[in-house]
Amino acid sequence: MRLLIVEDDREACAAMVTGLAEAGHSCVCAADGEAGLAAARAGGYDVMVVDRMMPKIDGVTMVETLRRDGDQTPVLFLSALGEINDRVAGLNAGGDDYLVKPYALAELVARVEALARRRETGSVQTMLKLGDLEMDLIGREVHRAGREIDLQPREFQLLEFLMRHGGQSVTRTMLLEGVWNYHFDPQTNVIDVHISRLRAKIDKGFDKPMLQTVRGAGYRLEA
């Protein structure tokens, strides 16, 4: 993918470029909102990563301008502003996702790739498949190797999120926001409990476990 990174912190931008390049993506950097707007208007980007607080033109104004111009390139906002009102303002301005600083580079890469997949698909998925694990989003059914797996609603949501990020490390923050809609860590063991239950249901009786714990990072569902 070709990505545009609009970030006035040179070290932060360099770190993003390194991480995204290791994931196989090409990056162009712009050091302020004005340069970012010009680069975006030149076109050719699959996803834009935009800092909110920048000189000349702030990120929100930049994205609002692009949306008025008809540019629908997916935008991931980055910001140290993490309150609910800040997130809502970014999304209402035309952002597609919002990541609060400081963040894990693996999470940034995962979110950028998720935005790109969403754009490429352009249609509603009704089935998810990872290895021998299948999920019917309409019938709300899950099967592994043909065996039906009975899941509670929250377990179904959790598995759906993990399958949509199949093969990728998923952080606790991503799970809290994507499954429980928490924009903060409530300091409970809710994730651990549900992961344990889900693992028992999808891996018990099979030779190869799919739900893995990634030390220091989170979890990964592997085919």
Q: Is the peptide bond before 102 cis (omega within 30 degrees of 0)?
A: yes
Cβ 152 vs Cβ 194: under 8 Å: no
* 134-190 pLDDT per residue, tens: 999 878 899 999 999 999 999 999 999 899 888 888 888 888 887 887 766 667 788
Residues of the chain with CATH 3.40.50.2300: 2-121
Residues of the chain with CATH 1.10.10.10: 127-221
Instruction: Give the per-residue pLDDT at 22.
Output: 87
Positions of the chain with pLDDT lower than 70, given as ranges: 120-125, 183-186
> How far is 81 from 50, CA to CA, in rounded Å?
13
Instruction: Give the per-residue pLDDT at 194.
Output: 95
Superfamily of domain 2-121: Response regulator (3.40.50.2300)
> How far is 213 from 207, CA to CA, in rounded Å?
17
> How far is 133 from 77, CA to CA, in rounded Å?
33
| DSSP string across the chain | -EEEEE-S-HHHHHHHHHHHHHTT-EEEEESSHHHHHHHHHH---SEEEEESS-SSS-HHHHHHHHHHTT----EEEEES--SHHHHHHHHHTT-SEEEESS--HHHHHHHHHHHHHHHHH-S---EEEETTEEEETTTTEEEETTEEE---HHHHHHHHHHHHTTTS-B-HHHHHHHTS--SS----SHHHHHHHHHHHHHHTT-SS--EEEETTTEEEE--
Instruction: Give the per-residue pLDDT at 34.
Output: 93
Predicted structure pTM score: 0.56
Cβ 38 vs Cβ 44: under 8 Å: no
Is CATH 1.10.10.10 the right assignment for the domain spanning 127-221? yes
Cβ 61 vs Cβ 38: under 8 Å: no
What's the token pair of residue 201? Answer: 């249901």
Instruction: Give the per-residue pLDDT at 31.
Output: 92
Name the average pLDDT for the chain: 88
